[in-house]
Amino acid sequence: MVRKSINYLIVISIIFIIPFTSYGQKFKGLALTPPMGWNSWNHFACDVNEQIIKEIADAIINSGMKDAGYIYINIDDCWHGQRDSLGFIHPDPQRFPSGMKALADYIHSKGLKLGIYSDAGWKTCGGRPGSRGHEYQDALTYASWGIDYLKYDWCYTDELNAHGAYLTMGDALVSAGRPVVFSLCEWGNNKPWEWGKDIGHLWRTTGDIYNCFDCVIDHGTWKSWGVLQILDMQEGLRVHAGPDHWNDPDMMEVGNGMPVNEDRAHFSMWCMLAAPLIAGNDVRKMTKETVEILTNSEVIAVDQDSMGIQGFKYQTIDSLEVWVKPLVKNQLAVCFLNRGKTPREISYDWSKHVIKDDFSGMTYDFNQKEYRIRNLWLKKETGTTRKPLKSTIGGHDVLMLRLTPVK
């Protein structure tokens, strides 16, 4: 009898307790569409403080970005002060004199969410204290401050195993109990798309972006990459992404100095990739053109489509690429990307194309079905797929369309 009860208890524990105590969990459902927000690094680098973060939050609201969906205000590297004698981390008292809890309260009072940054190694990339050996303690601290998003970097990790290190922090966040979007910033070195899905909501696929359309910056031991270089590195990765687990081609450089055509192409391609849309510019001082790009709701809707299918390169015609992204209700986005510097005329005969996507299982046969075409930057209907599409696409620019089946 006693033995039977013990066996019974063991079975009950296996069924009910172990699934809730095992590693590899995350807060589910926090990123059913790619996260949208802002991050300090691309514009401010280490020069962050609470005043800037508050002003950014205000500007996100006043510019219409919050209404467009940008919710997370993420502080990147260099917010840190020292650890105290018990190992608890504190913000830099000069830069964040009111403390993180007060800042989170301010951000939350505006209907926004606050993100923070740490590193799996001894130190962050900016040389501040990393979380190694303090993971559970840091996760508790972030929860007590009211943090909603953690970007977790990969500097000073020596021989650490990436999967294991991210699992530890993921588990620490879950144990701390406050729902947090977990952003794995491991630069794609250890193929996080193969193991990140159950740990985090997004993972960087590459090294850092650089504010240029087509360039590579060599820093000696590492490189940073232009928009086209990062785009090319996404090849083959779309099968790993979907609702609640996204490939992250890095934060955006829109509004940081590229010409408007390049910013438009950059933003369009990030939306075709179903990329997290994390703005990286000084949103307190934006040109009208930058606001128009970042808040174009029809282009954002391509990124935020609820099917969560990352787009793919359908065709390359020398420097012209045709990208396709399946959308809900048998619709699709088609984006013509002119990688060249000079304008290009196109005449695109839809009737010559049957677009078949094995990953989503979608087929678009333009002989079988006619589609209405909407130009997402001009915000205008431009005929149907019955006639060839004629257009001129500027250098380093796009023609971005949404196609809807004609009933």
- What residues act catalytically? 153, 208
Q: Which of 208, 248, 263, 303 binds ligand GLA (CB under 6 A)?
A: 208
CB of 262 to ligand GLA, least distance (A): 20
148 binds ligand GLA (CB under 6 A): no
CA atoms of 51 and 57, how far apart (whole Å): 10
The rounded radius of gyration (Å) of the Cα atoms in the chain is: 23
Residue 145 · residue 174 · CB < 8 Å: no
Residue 45 token pair: 């680098």
CB of 65 to ligand GLA, least distance (A): 20
* Contacting ligand GLA within 109-128 (CB under 6 A): 124-126
Beta strands of 229-370 (E only): which ranges?
246-248, 277-279, 312-317, 320-326, 332-338, 344-348, 354-357, 362-365
CB of 69 to ligand GLA, least distance (A): 21
* C-alpha 101, offset from chain centre: 25
CA atoms of 286 and 252, how far apart (whole Å): 14
Quickly count: other Cβ atoms within 10 Å of residue 208's Cβ.
Answer: 19
* Per-residue CA distances from 344 to 107, 293, 390 (Å): 45, 22, 11
Contacts of 349 (CB under 8 A, 6+ apart): 388
Residue 383 token pair: 């005929």
Q: Which of 77, 244, 263, 357 binds ligand GLA (CB under 6 A)?
A: 77
* Per-residue CA distances from 69 to 72, 279, 297 (Å): 9, 11, 9
253 binds ligand GLA (CB under 6 A): no
**Number of residues forming the site for ligand GLA (CB under 6 A):** 9
CB of 77 to ligand GLA, least distance (A): 4
CB of 237 to ligand GLA, least distance (A): 17
Binding mask 176-195 for ligand GLA (x = CB under 6 A): ---------x----------
The CB-nearest residue to ligand GLA is 125
CB of 15 to ligand GLA, least distance (A): 41
Between 115 and 311, name the residue whose CB sits nearer to ligand GLA. Answer: 115
CA atoms of 181 and 162, how far apart (whole Å): 18
DSSP SS3 for 239 = helix
Between 116 and 401, name the residue whose CB sits nearer to ligand GLA. Answer: 116
At residue 13, φ and ψ (nearest 5 deg) are -65, -40
Q: What's the N-to-C CA distance of the chain in angstroms? A: 68
72 binds ligand GLA (CB under 6 A): no
Contacts with ligand GLA by CB under 6 A lie at: 41, 76-77, 124-126, 153, 185, 208
